[in-house]
Amino acid sequence: MVFIIITVLAVTGLVFRFTYVRFLSGIPSDRRTGLTFVGREYAGWFGDGLRGLFDGDFPGRAWTFTKSWLAVNYPGWRQGIFWALAASFGFCAATGFAFAVFTKRGMYGLPLLAHVMAGALFALSLTAALLLRARAFRPDADPGLETCDFCPLMKTLPKKIVLTILFWIFAAAGLALIVTALASMLPYFYFRAQFPLLEFHRYGALAAVLAAAALFDFGILPRRT
Ligand code: HEM
Q: What confidence tens digit (pLDDT) does each residue in 209-219 have?
A: 999 999 998 88
What's the 205 CA to ligand 1 centre distance in angstroms?
8
Angle, vertex CA 135, rays to CA 134 and CA 137, nearest 5: 65
pLDDT band for position 150 (cuts 50, 70, 90)? low
pLDDT band for position 59 (cuts 50, 70, 90)? confident
The confidence score (pLDDT) of residue 127 equals: 96
Q: Which of 157, 160, 169 is nearest to 137 (CA)?
A: 160
The confidence score (pLDDT) of residue 154 equals: 65
Residues 6+ apart with CB under 8 A from 79: 70
Return d(Cα 15, Cα 3) in angstroms, integer: 18
What's the 91 CA to ligand 1 centre distance in angstroms?
10
Q: What is the mean pLDDT of residues 219-223?
A: 80
Helix (H) or strand (E) segment spanning residue 13: helix 2-25
Domain ranges of the chain: 1-55
Question: What is the CB < 6 Å shell around ligand 1?
Answer: 89, 92-93, 96-97, 99-100, 106-107, 112, 115-116, 119, 122-123, 177-178, 181, 194, 198, 201-202, 205, 208-209
Return d(Cα 217, Cα 11) in angstroms, integer: 13
pTM: 0.90
Question: Other C-beta atoms within 10 Å of 112: how many?
Answer: 14
For 19-47, how does the pLDDT look when each residue is reduced to its tens digit (9 = 90+)?
888 888 877 767 666 556 677 888 888 88
Q: What is the mean pLDDT of residues 148-166?
A: 77
